Structure 1
Amino acid sequence: MDNGENAVPNVIIFPLPLQSPVNSMLKLAELLCLAGGVHVTFLITEHNHQRLLRSTDAGSRFERYYLGKFSFEVISDGLREDHPRSAEDYEGIVNSLQGVAEPHLREMLRSERGRKVTCVIAEAVFGYAFEIGKEVGIPVFAFETVSPCYLGVYLCIPKLFEEGQLPSKGEDLETLVTGVPGMEGLLKVRDLPHFCRAKDPWAEESGKLIMAEIHAVPKAHGLILNSFEELDGPIMAHIRTHCPNTYMIGPVQQHLKTRLAERETTMPPSSNSFWREDKTCIQWLDEQPEESVIYVSFGSQNTLTMAELMEVWHGLVASGVRFLWVLRPNTLRAAKEVLDQNLVRELKKGCLECGRIVSWAPQEEVLAHRAIGGFWTHSGWNSTLESILAGKPMICWAQYVDQLVTRRLVSEVWRIGVDMEDRCDRLSVEKMVKELMMGSRRQELKKSAQKFSKLARESVNNGGSSYTSLDHLINDIRKLSSIKHFQNNLSCIG
Structure 2
Amino acid sequence: MALPHVLVFPLPLQGPVNCMLKLAELLCLHQEIHVTFLNTEHIQQRLLNCTDVQIRFEKYPNFKFVTVPDGLPEDNPRIGDQIRKIIEGIEEVSSPLFREMVIAACGPTCLIVDGIFTFAVDIAKEARIPLLYFDTISPCSLWTYLAVPKLIEAGEIPFKGNDLDALVNSVPGMEGVLRRRDLPSFCRAPDLDSPIIQHVIKEGKHIVQAQGVIFNTFEGLEGPILSQFRAMIPNIYAIGPLHIQIKSKLANSQCLPKTTMSNSLWKEDMSCMDWLDKHPQKSVLFVSIGSLATMSKAHFLEFWYGLVNSMTPFLWVQRPGSIIGLEEDNINNVPKELSESTKERGCIVSWAPQEEVLAHSSIGGFLTHSGWNSTLESIVEGVPMICWPYFVDQHVNSRYVGEVWKLGLDMKDICDRATVERMVRQVMEVNKIKFLERAKQMSDLAIASVAESGSSYQDLDRLIEDIRLMRI
TM-score grouping bracket, smaller chain normalisation? over 0.9
Q: Is the 8 A contact 1:181 1:235 kept in 2?
A: no
TM-superposed CA distance for 1:264, in Å, is 4.3
1:310-335 Cα deviation digits (max 9, x unpaired): 1111111111100000001111236x
Q: Is the 8 A contact 2:282 2:363 kept in 1?
A: yes
Structure 1 residues not aligned, in runs of 5+: 485-494
Change (3 A) 1:462 1:73: same
Residue of structure 2 aligned with 1:9, choices 4, 10, 18: 4
1:192-224 Cα deviation digits (max 9, x unpaired): 1344344541x2111122122111210111100
Distance in 1 of aligned mates of 2:181 and 2:386 = 17
Matched, 1:83 2:76: yes
Distance in 2 of aligned mates of 1:145 and 1:338 = 35
1:1-26 Cα deviation digits (max 9, x unpaired): xxx5xx21110111111100000000
Q: Is the 8 A contact 2:164 2:179 kept in 1?
A: yes
Matched, 1:250 2:240: yes
Distance in 2 of aligned mates of 1:238 and 1:83 = 38
Matched, 1:138 2:129: yes
Matched, 1:229 2:219: yes
Q: Is the 8 A contact 1:329 1:338 kept in 2?
A: no
TM-superposed CA distance for 1:290, in Å, is 1.0
Note the aligned Cα RMSD (angstroms): 1.8
Structure 2 match to 1:477 = 467
- The runs of at least 4 consecutive aligned structure 1 residues that moved more than 4 Å come to 336-339, 341-350
TM-superposed CA distance for 1:182, in Å, is 2.2
Structure 2 match to 1:454 = 444
Change (3 A) 1:343 1:127: farther
Matched, 1:323 2:318: no
Distance in 2 of aligned mates of 1:78 and 1:338 = 29
Change (3 A) 1:291 1:131: same
SS in 2 for 1:353: helix
Change (3 A) 1:179 1:60: same
The letter for the 2-side match of 1:133 is: A
Q: Is the 8 A contact 1:410 1:417 kept in 2?
A: yes
Distance in 1 of aligned mates of 2:406 and 2:389 = 16
Distance in 1 of aligned mates of 2:466 and 2:329 = 48
Residue of structure 2 aligned with 1:124, choices 115, 118, 123: 115
Q: Which stretch of the first structure deviates more once superposed, 361-370 or 341-350?
A: 341-350
Q: Is the 8 A contact 2:140 2:397 kept in 1?
A: yes
The letter for the 1-side match of 2:414 is: R
Distance in 2 of aligned mates of 1:33 and 1:338 = 46
Distance in 2 of aligned mates of 1:37 and 1:345 = 60
SS in 2 for 1:370: coil
Structure 2 residues not aligned, in runs of 5+: none
> TM-score scaled to structure 1, two decimals?
0.92
SS in 1 for 2:208: helix
Structure 2 match to 1:272 = 263
Q: Is the 8 A contact 1:30 1:256 kept in 2?
A: yes
TM-superposed CA distance for 1:343, in Å, is 5.0
Residue of structure 1 aligned with 2:378, choices 377, 387, 400: 387
Structure 2 match to 1:489 = none
Matched, 1:301 2:296: no
Matched, 1:106 2:99: yes
Structure 2 match to 1:412 = 403
TM-superposed CA distance for 1:151, in Å, is 1.1
TM-superposed CA distance for 1:116, in Å, is 3.1
Matched, 1:365 2:360: no
TM-superposed CA distance for 1:341, in Å, is 5.6
TM-superposed CA distance for 1:352, in Å, is 1.1
Structure 1 match to 2:454 = 464
Residue of structure 2 aligned with 1:69, choices 47, 59, 62: 62
Matched, 1:207 2:197: yes
The letter for the 1-side match of 2:452 is: N
TM-superposed CA distance for 1:246, in Å, is 0.5
**Counterpart mapping for 1:277-356 below 5 A:** 277-333=268-324, 337=327, 340=330, 342=332, 350-356=341-347
> TM-score scaled to structure 2, two decimals?
0.96
1:16-45 Cα deviation digits (max 9, x unpaired): 111000000000000000122111111111
Matched, 1:35 2:30: yes
SS in 1 for 2:160: coil
TM-superposed CA distance for 1:179, in Å, is 2.5
Identical counterparts, % of pairs: 49
